[in-house]
């Protein structure tokens, strides 16, 4: 008896949704940080995993064509964000890494507390996404 050729249709369809859900949850975790469990590091790791499941379900080449990003650059940009927030407080005559916060009235969200520490966290987030994906993709690409 001849077996039908295996295919990943189920996985590929499911992953499209799952990846989105993980991604959304990672953004939630990222924003929840500061006062609750969450933050840039685990948010970044989760975003990286949401992208990774795509690489698992489809093959490297397909995803490479869809996501044309150089993740190494993320590390540089993220580090810039993190150090930049430290330096900006210095430019205004405060001590390095001093952070500020205030509550604002935003149209849809209502009263929201915005902090400059979030920008620092965004830096951490980008570094983690960049580093995790660079490492894993480099190992995956190694054919020797």
Partner 1 sequence: MNNLVVLPIVIPLLTGMLLILFKQYIQLQRTASFLALVGTTLVHCLLLFEIKQSGVQAVQMGSWPAPFGITLATDMFSALLLLTSNVVALICLLFAFHSLSAEIEETYFYSLFLFLITGVNGSFITGDLFNLYVFFEVLLIASYVLVSIGGKKKQLREAMKYVVINVLSSSLFLFAIAYLYSITGTLNLAHLSVRVAQTGQDALITAVSLLLLIVLSIKAGLFLFFWLPGSYSAPPTVIAAVFAALLTKVGIYGIIRMFSLIFYHETHVTHLFIGILAALTMILGGLGASGYGDIKKILTYNVVIGAGFILAGLAAFSPEALNGSIFYLIHDMISKALVFLIGGIVIHLTGTTKLEDMSGLIRTHPALGWMFFITILALAGIPPLSGFIGKVLVTEGTFVSGYYWLGAIGLLASIMILYSLLKIFMNAFWGETILSVEEEKGTTKGLMLPVALLTTLTIVIGIFAQVLVPYVDLATYSLLNPEVYIEAVFSGNPIP
Binding site for partner 1 (CB under 8 A): 72-73, 75-77, 79-80, 83, 86-87, 90, 94-99
Quote the least distance from Cβ 88 to partner 1, whole Å. 12
CA distance 106 to 111: 6
CA-CA distance, 30 to 24, in Å (whole number)?
A: 10
- How far apart CA 88 and CA 85 sit, in angstroms, is 5
CB atoms within 10 A of CB 13: 11
- Please state the closest distance from residue 115 (CB atom) to partner 1, in A: 12
CA–CA separation, 116 and 114 (whole Å): 7
Nearest distance from residue 95's CB to partner 1, in Å? 5
Closest approach of partner 1 to the CB of residue 76, in Å: 4
Nearer to partner 1, 18 or 116 (CB): 116
Q: Closest CB to partner 1 among 42 and 75?
A: 75
Residue 101's DSSP bridge partners are 115
- Closer to partner 1 by CB, 60 or 76: give it: 76
Nearer residue to partner 1 within complex by CB, 24 or 69: 69
Q: Which residues contact 1 (CB under 8 A, 6 or more apart)?
A: none
């Amino acid at each position: 008896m001849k077996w039908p050729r295996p295919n990943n249709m189920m996985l590929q369809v499911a992953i499209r949704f799952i990846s989105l859900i993980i991604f959304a949850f990672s953004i939630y975790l990222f924003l929840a940080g500061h006062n609750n469990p969450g933050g840039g590091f685990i948010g970044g790791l989760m975003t990286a995993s949401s992208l990774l499941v795509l690489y698992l379900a489809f093959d490297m080449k397909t995803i490479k064509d869809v996501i044309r990003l150089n993740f190494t650059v993320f590390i540089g940009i993220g580090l810039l964000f993190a150090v930049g927030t430290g330096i900006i407080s210095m430019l205004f005559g405060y001590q390095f890494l001093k952070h500020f916060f205030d509550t604002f009235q935003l149209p849809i969200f209502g009263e929201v507390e915005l902090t400059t520490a979030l920008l620092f966290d965004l830096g951490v987030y980008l570094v983690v996404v960049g580093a995790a994906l660079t490492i894993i993709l480099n190992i995956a690409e190694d054919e020797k």
